[in-house]
Amino acid sequence: MATEALEILYEDNHLVFAVKPVGVLSQSDGSGAEDMLTLLSQDIAERYGKPGKAFVGLVHRLDRNVGGTMVFARTSKGASRASEDMRTGNFYKGYLALARTPLKAPGGDGPENGKSAAEGYLRHRLLKKEKENRVFESERGKECLLYYKYICPLKGAAGETRGHVYFVIPVTGRTHQIRAQFAFSGSPLLGDLKYGTGDGGSGSRFEIGLWSFAVSVRKTVKRDERIWAVSLPESSLWRGPGGLVPEEIREFAASGDYREILEKVKERPVKAPGGEADFIGEESSDGEV
């Protein structure tokens, strides 16, 4: 991947927001595969005429098979302040999830009778097994809380429904949380070979129905101001008739409604049924599917 192909969403002296393509690592794993830290370092060095490599710090991670919005640090101060936001719950992340079937509505109603859940929370206890790089439902697991809001169906070329798009916010930040919670709720993500069957995906092991849609942190110096960055899914997996991302997704991005939702969910997660959830740092395997 050429550095000129990188999509930069926002940049200042301390931070840079960019789009991570599906299949690219967040950071090097020693295999020689492309990674965002190296690509961004080269890109910044080229654009600003810096000799050698430019400093780029990793703030958070996305798994290899998840693309979308990421924030990186250009200075040690930017890295420190962004990490502080993550520790204190001031790091906002919202994803788009593409499920094969709609989530069931409260009370047991589901796709079989035309009723689906428009908005709510998923709550599971998930236990990670390191050797398998996979999580399972278990009473011994860590509590996971996930907010979801239904956006639209995804139609195919012939007008058939290929999947269902949700805006989701992981209140907790566990490994594979979104993928696992959708699967354990009966609605696995398209293309997910680990927690689903992979049916309906692109056929690539480096692509599933999950996209980092919106990321927000406070500015490094002016801490009372926030930076917001949004990106739309790039691949054919998310495209409907005419090869376009559904209009509902584009309208949702343009409306800015995701900002209000993120702020409410992050500030008041205790409104979810069943108890409270603590803010925690991000966990991610950043490895193979």
Q: Return d(Cα 2, Cα 17) in angstroms, integer.
A: 17
> What is the DSSP-derived secondary structure letter of residue 115?
-
Percent of the chain at pLDDT exceeding 70: 83
List, for residues 219-260, the tens digit of each pLDDT value.
999 999 999 999 999 888 999 888 899 999 999 999 999 999
Q: Return d(Cα 61, Cα 93) in angstroms, integer.
A: 12
Note the pLDDT of residue 108: 44
Task: List phi, psi (to 5°) of 164.
Answer: -135, 130
Buried b (16+ CB within 10 A) or exposed e, 147-177: bbbbbbbbeeeeeeebbbbbbbbbbbbbbbb
Q: Is residue 283 part of a domain?
A: no
10 Å Cβ neighbour count for 127? 14
Quote the pTM value. 0.88
For residue 117, what are the domain limits? Answer: 3-268
10 Å Cβ neighbour count for 89? 14
Note the pLDDT of residue 281: 42
User: Regarding predicted confidence, which is higher, 261 or 287?
Assistant: 261
Check pLDDT > 60 for residue 288.
no
List, for residues 20-49, the tens digit of each pLDDT value.
999 999 999 989 899 999 999 999 999 998
Q: Is residue 34 part of a domain?
A: yes
Check pLDDT > 80 for residue 167.
yes
Please answer whether residues 187 and 207 qualify as being in contact, where contact means their C-beta atoms are separated by less than 8 angstroms: no
Q: Is residue 280 part of a domain?
A: no
Check pLDDT > 90 for residue 196.
no
Q: Return d(Cα 116, Cα 98) in angstroms, integer.
A: 15
List, for residues 72-123, the tens digit of each pLDDT value.
999 999 999 999 999 998 999 999 999 999 998 654 444 334 456 799 999 9
Interhelix angle 247-255/257-267, nearest 10 degrees: 70
Please write down the long-range contacts of 105-114, taking CB distance under 8 Å and 24 or more positions apart.
110/186
Number of domains in the chain: 1
Q: Is residue 233 part of a domain?
A: yes
CA-based torsion, 70, 74, 76, 81: positive or negative: negative
Structure tokens at 31: 């295999």
Q: Is residue 165 part of a domain?
A: yes
Please answer whether residues 147 and 264 qualify as being in contact, where contact means their C-beta atoms are separated by less than 8 angstroms: no
CATH number at residue 248: 3.30.2350.10
> What is the DSSP-derived secondary structure letter of residue 12?
-
Least confident of 11-20, 148-157, 160-169, 200-209: 200-209
Please answer whether residues 121 and 272 qualify as being in contact, where contact means their C-beta atoms are separated by less than 8 angstroms: yes
Q: Return d(Cα 189, Cα 202) in angstroms, integer.
A: 12
Q: Is residue 105 part of a domain?
A: yes
Q: Is residue 103 part of a domain?
A: yes
Q: Is residue 274 part of a domain?
A: no
Mean pLDDT of 184-213: 80
Note the pLDDT of residue 116: 61
